[in-house]
């Protein structure tokens, strides 16, 4: 997982003592994180900066912070399976070797803007839709949207975060097996 850049709101929740100042290397890129509330319960929302693939962690309480790595990876791999993203054991083991590194926000406007839109989409699906969604279904609906991947002037290439995560994992697979 490596670096998780926290919004100021999330930084207050996890505590300044858990914020690091040095970045670490990451296999799949960095993550930006925010918190939102559903029925007074905290939900972590994490988004990958290379793919905009997101992971929602429900009902999070501060005392679970020491176990955050295990909680994140469990939700991440569950969501990958739900989204039919192919990942093998070598990549899983490699990803699990990275520690969680909470950091202050990196002010990546494009990722933060996408994250804000995704959280608004979640709000829409939760409060203005009649169907009841599981966490995986909700996360899938958000990450199945098309996004333009950070090209400054060209908006001709759009993919869903699910497709982009699969491409990234395929690139990692090639690196590991060669």
Per-residue pLDDT of the chain (178 residues; tens, 9 = 90+): 578 999 999 999 898 888 988 888 888 889 999 999 988 889 999 999 999 999 999 998 888 999 999 999 999 999 999 999 998 888 888 888 888 889 999 988 888 888 999 999 988 888 887 778 899 999 998 888 776 554 444 555 678 899 999 999 999 989 888 7
Domain ranges across the chain: 2-177
User: Which CATH fold topology does 2-177 show?
Assistant: Nucleotidyltransferase; domain 5 (3.30.420)
Tell me the C-alpha distance between 3 and 100, whole Å. 6
Q: What is the pLDDT of residue 1?
A: 57
d(CA 123, CA 120): 5
Q: CA of 34: how far to CAs of 7, 39, 99, 136, in Å?
A: 6, 17, 19, 18
pLDDT of res. 147: 64
Q: What is the pLDDT at residue 34?
A: 94
Q: Give me the pLDDT at residue 21, please.
A: 87
Q: Enter the pTM of the model.
A: 0.88
Q: Which residues contact 3 (CB under 8 A, 6 or more apart)?
A: 23, 24, 26, 30, 31, 101, 103
With CA atoms as reference, report the closest residue to 59 among 83, 42, 80: 42
**Alpha carbons 12 and 85: distance in angstroms, whole number:** 34
């Amino acid at each position: 997982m490596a670096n998780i850049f926290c919004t100021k709101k999330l930084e207050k929740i996890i505590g300044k003592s858990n914020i690091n100042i040095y970045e670490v290397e990451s296999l799949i890129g960095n993550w930006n994180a925010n918190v939102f509330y559903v029925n007074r319960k905290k939900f972590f929302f994490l988004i990958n900066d290379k793919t905009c693939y997101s992971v929602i962690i429900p009902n999070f309480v501060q005392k679970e912070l020491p176990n955050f790595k295990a909680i994140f990876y469990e939700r991440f791999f569950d969501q990958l399976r739900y989204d039919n993203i192919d990942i093998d054991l070598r990549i899983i083991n490699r990803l699990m070797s990275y520690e969680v590194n909470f950091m202050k926000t990196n002010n990546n406007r494009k990722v933060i803007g996408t994250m804000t839109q995704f959280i608004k989409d979640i709000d829409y699906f939760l409060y203005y839709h009649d169907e009841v969604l599981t966490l995986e279904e909700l996360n899938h609906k958000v990450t199945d949207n098309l996004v333009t991947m950070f090209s400054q002037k060209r908006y001709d290439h759009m993919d869903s975060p699910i497709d982009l995560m699969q491409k990234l994992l395929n690139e990692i697979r090639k690196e590991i097996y060669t």
